[in-house]
Structure 1
Amino acid sequence: MTHQIFEDENIYGYQGLTIDIYFAAHSAYCFIDVYYDEILRNGPKFYLEPDNVMNLLMPWFPNNIMTNLHEFKDCVKRDEPDYIYGECVDCFTNTNEEGKMTGFRIINCDLSTSGFKEFHKRFQSLIIMFIDAANFIDLDDPSWRILYLYEECRIGNKNKYCPVGFCSMYLFKDITTIARISQFFIVPFLQRLGLGYKLLDATYNYLKSTINDLEEITVESPNKIFTRMRDNLDISYIIDEPYFAKYELFKGFTDNMLKIARLKYKFSNEQARKVYEILRCYWSQSNPREYEKFMLDVKKHRKAKFMVTPLNLESNKLLQLLQMKQSKSKGCNKYNFEERLNLSIMLQEEVDKFVHTIQSTLRHIQKSFKTQ
């Protein structure tokens, strides 16, 4: 994920180049050590100066980079691992594969707290190396909200805390407020332990409990892993709602389903529909007749969606097909049989792709379901 720092992920001019980057566990102060075997003085680009590695790194590690190891060690010694920025909104324990139990705290960080902005600028540098196309937020904008995840450990008779992740949210205010989750990060060595699920759950609860006019919670450009986690959490919220019971789902997506998803859980329209489709797909799989109805329902919805918002060139072709089928005019005769067949196949492929996505999600979240 270093293409933003180094163009094409290449560094020119060195033999045996190594870049070591260290972060202090609590304060996130950064030490960078760059060393190499030799600088290349000949070759196809001998007329070019070697890349200045530190100059390329500086914009992405903007706050107090250290290049002196002794200075960094002294900084670590002066660290205050018992201090956290903000107030605890949730705490829990987690047990790893070896049976070791660790405590975690989720902290609501106030951007006005002295020292927090500088700390976050240091810690957020990590996302550049682990999140594709990541960027930094404007901490001077009061519409940002940030929750931090801290790992808790006991050293001697004191509790020590280390930041291991965060979630940033932006509040769009008009008549009501829409909250958009912008950045969501857990350090790699603590991923796949359920910590992201806990942080996302706390984020939902924090937004719903602190923003009185909250209309919906959205997510900016989620990847597949985050999407599955979000779907899993949303299903855990909605699965016991009477309107989402098994035989209610077989009747199709209703206004009551949308109303409960939006008003109580702050889902977007699209996410409410998706949760319905995942649940209906699950309950229909063992019933061929109901599964056929489910597929027809998905196809109908996808057609309507394309009619309103064609997403790309392929969707524009689908839109042509849908408009052609609905028209009774002779003008539609310009579409020959082969064109109509190809467009029909494209529409079916879109539906199959969407259903495959739902089924893939189901394979990862089966534990959320229980017999009804």
Structure 2
Amino acid sequence: MAAAVPDSEWAADANEAIHLSLVRTKEDRASLTAREVYEGFNPTFTYPIFGEDEKLYGYKDLAVDLKFASGSLAQYLKVSYSQKLASSSVVDDIEGTLAGFIPPGYDTNEADFLKRVEEDAATFRPYGRLIHSYSRSAHKMSRKHAHMTQGYDPNDEDIVDFEVYHTTWDTPGFREYHRRMQLFILLYIEGGSYISEEEDQWDFVVLYEKRRRRNTPDVFTYHFVGYSSLYRFYCFPEKTRMRLSQFVILPPYQQEGHGSALYCAIYQFVLQDASIAELTVEDPAEAFEDLRDRNDLKMLLNNERYLREALGDDANGSSCASPAHHPSPPNANGNGHNGHGGGGGGGGRVAKGRTVHHERSVQLGNGRGNQGVGRRRTLGKLGPPADRKWMEKWRTELKIAQRQFNRLNEMLILKHMDCEDGHTMKQYRLQVKQRLFRFNYDSLMQLDKEERQTKLEETFQSVRADYERILGTVH
């Protein structure tokens, strides 16, 4: 990038100057409701492309339009401005820089691009194999915190379908398609980076909107919503471990439950594939970890056989978690996650100068909550203490990574146990602290005994408070 220009009037914020659009044909736009807006949104991050300061220099009234055909993701790029500095040494080559991150063949003539949009809308179909689908009414879309569980009239002409497809590098045409969609990883995932096409172990799960045209209801067109990339590792003796690495839902579709739908589709895909031992997530961002926790908890709470064994005759018990600790989670749809860099919380290691709410041993709140109503002293196989052999049997069957499954069971114990019973609470505290100690062993062993005990207690209280918060979002 060029050197910074002293005069700030020639500098522009890249995140504000860049405008992204998912462009539909005129006929497809006619099918949208007034709430649905898919054009003119901004990136969250541009530093992987334009540098740490995310500034563009040498222009006044700068606007960078990067448009995508909503299904095929064919691209159009236009850089416009009112004035440009004459000196090339302080003027950024915006198109030249962006061209290094998008594939060749993008349009710079808008008329040619719109013609391509029309052509692609008629012919584009998702790559790979359909693995999941769901539907909802268009009138409930683009409302914040909408839920996929909301009912709809199957006779409603404005029903919108969503379909999830699984694909790999071997799927004909997908490699080229991936080169067009991977830019969203850089723009919406902190620390996001491109993956190597030379590695064969990648799987991809892509979510599309399938929309019926209002004037020709027998015609459907497809529109890109988001995707996840997953990496397969060898798992002894003859299976693979699937690691979720990247996960993004584009801004126009966020806060509508599509992140949860995509995650659940991935989990069911893993559950049904006998060659996969478990699903893991690489260093998840805090928002994604919330999404994962909520959906994993719902899955366990809907598993009657597991609950009977876990809770015994207390399977329908109420929670002792305090309603005072139930704020709504930020970014509930988990719009971006990338295991290759960045991503905050969820690592569970001793924190270094940063306050987070997940399983860390310093700089955490005390998490004190109200005491709950009287409950049973024991909870079937969950205890506390939990039956470890039983837990491992279920963990293996459900294909959940060990740390995640331990956390889920700790949440369920907290939901159902008698928080006023001193013995039960002591057993619960010991169970959680033993796991935290093992997880933070190297860092904690650098402390003296008294400080180690203090840090463990602080972490336990913070973990408990966070469990209460998550439980408050699961119904």
The one of 291, 302, 317 equivalent to 1:229 is 291
In the alignment, is residue 243 of structure 1 matched against residue 317 of structure 2?
no
Specify which structure has the bigger relative contact order, considering alpha-carbon pairs within 8 angstroms and separated by 6 or more residues.
Answer: 2
In the alignment, is residue 213 of structure 1 matched against residue 266 of structure 2?
no
Secondary structure of the 2:287 match is helix
CA 1:205–1:52: 2 relative to 1, 3 Å: same
Kept in 1, the 8 Å contact 2:46–2:187? The answer is: yes
Kept in 2, the 8 Å contact 1:107–1:148? The answer is: yes
Kept in 2, the 8 Å contact 1:29–1:122? The answer is: yes
CA 1:251–1:104: 2 relative to 1, 3 Å: same
The one of 17, 39, 42 equivalent to 2:62 is 17
Kept in 1, the 8 Å contact 2:445–2:452? The answer is: no
Q: Deviations over 1:66-118 (max 9, x none)?
A: 22212211211221355221221122112453675311111122432332211
Structure whose alpha-carbon radius of gyration is higher? 1
CA 1:62–1:84: 2 relative to 1, 3 Å: same
In the alignment, is residue 51 of structure 1 matched against residue 85 of structure 2?
no
Query: 1: distance between equivalents of 2:262 and 2:219?
Result: 25
Secondary structure of the 2:96 match is helix
Query: 2: distance between equivalents of 1:274 and 1:64?
Result: 48
Q: Quote how far apart the aligned CAs of 1:181 are.
A: 0.8
In the alignment, is residue 97 of structure 1 matched against residue 97 of structure 2?
no
Amino acid at match of 2:431: D
Which residue in 2 is equivalent to 1:3?
47
Q: Quote how far apart the aligned CAs of 1:297 are.
A: 2.8
CA 1:81–1:229: 2 relative to 1, 3 Å: farther
Query: 1: distance between equivalents of 2:282 and 2:105?
Result: 29
Query: 2: distance between equivalents of 1:300 and 1:116?
Result: 46
CA 1:286–1:112: 2 relative to 1, 3 Å: same
Query: 1: distance between equivalents of 2:452 and 2:233?
Result: 39
Correspondence list, 1:123-162, <5 A: 123-155=181-213, 156=216, 157-162=218-223
Q: Quote how far apart the aligned CAs of 1:348 are.
A: 2.5
Structure 1 runs, 4 residues or longer, greater than 4 Å off = none
Q: Quote how far apart the aligned CAs of 1:140 are.
A: 4.0
Query: 2: distance between equivalents of 1:189 and 1:77?
Result: 21
CA 1:163–1:352: 2 relative to 1, 3 Å: same
CA RMSD of superposed structures (Å): 2.4
The one of 455, 459, 467 equivalent to 1:346 is 455
Q: Deviations over 1:230-251 (max 9, x none)?
A: 1122222323303322512333
Query: 2: distance between equivalents of 1:285 and 1:194?
Result: 33
Query: 1: distance between equivalents of 2:404 and 2:76?
Result: 42
In the alignment, is residue 70 of structure 1 matched against residue 111 of structure 2?
yes
Query: 1: distance between equivalents of 2:126 and 2:275?
Result: 29
Kept in 1, the 8 Å contact 2:72–2:124? The answer is: no
**Structure 2 unmatched ranges of 5 or more:** 1-44, 142-151, 153-157, 315-378
Secondary structure of the 2:197 match is coil
**Structure 1 unmatched ranges of 5 or more:** 311-315, 326-339, 368-372
Which residue in 2 is equivalent to 1:26?
71
Amino acid at match of 2:163: R
Query: 2: distance between equivalents of 1:63 and 1:84?
Result: 21
Kept in 1, the 8 Å contact 2:167–2:204? The answer is: yes
Query: 2: distance between equivalents of 1:170 and 1:63?
Result: 27
Query: 2: distance between equivalents of 1:3 and 1:288?
Result: 52
Query: 1: distance between equivalents of 2:390 and 2:59?
Result: 61
Query: 2: distance between equivalents of 1:320 and 1:221?
Result: 24
Q: Quote how far apart the aligned CAs of 1:219 are.
A: 0.8
Kept in 2, the 8 Å contact 1:85–1:113? The answer is: yes
Query: 1: distance between equivalents of 2:282 and 2:161?
Result: 29
CA 1:285–1:188: 2 relative to 1, 3 Å: farther
Secondary structure of the 1:4 match is helix
Identity %: 26
The one of 433, 436, 446 equivalent to 1:302 is 436
Which residue in 2 is equivalent to 1:370?
none
Amino acid at match of 2:191: A
Query: 2: distance between equivalents of 1:73 and 1:17?
Result: 23
Kept in 1, the 8 Å contact 2:231–2:243? The answer is: yes
Amino acid at match of 2:165: I
In the alignment, is residue 278 of structure 1 matched against residue 411 of structure 2?
yes
Kept in 2, the 8 Å contact 1:153–1:161? The answer is: yes
Q: Quote how far apart the aligned CAs of 1:276 are.
A: 0.7
Which residue in 2 is equivalent to 1:333?
none
Secondary structure of the 1:253 match is coil
Query: 2: distance between equivalents of 1:94 and 1:269?
Result: 35
In the alignment, is residue 258 of structure 1 matched against residue 319 of structure 2?
no
Kept in 2, the 8 Å contact 1:63–1:121? The answer is: no
Which residue in 1 is equivalent to 2:32?
none
Secondary structure of the 2:100 match is helix
Q: Quote how far apart the aligned CAs of 1:275 are.
A: 0.5
Which residue in 1 is equivalent to 2:30?
none
Secondary structure of the 2:182 match is helix
Q: Deviations over 1:2-50 (max 9, x none)?
A: 1111111111222221111111011101111111121246xxxx79331
Instruction: Kindly tell me the number of residue pairs found equivalent between the two proteins.
Output: 336
Q: Deviations over 1:196-216 (max 9, x none)?
A: 222212112212323x23222
Which residue in 2 is equivalent to 1:330?
none
Query: 2: distance between equivalents of 1:344 and 1:153?
Result: 57
The one of 215, 229, 237 equivalent to 1:168 is 229
Superposition TM-score, scaled by structure 1 size = 0.82
Query: 2: distance between equivalents of 1:112 and 1:213?
Result: 18
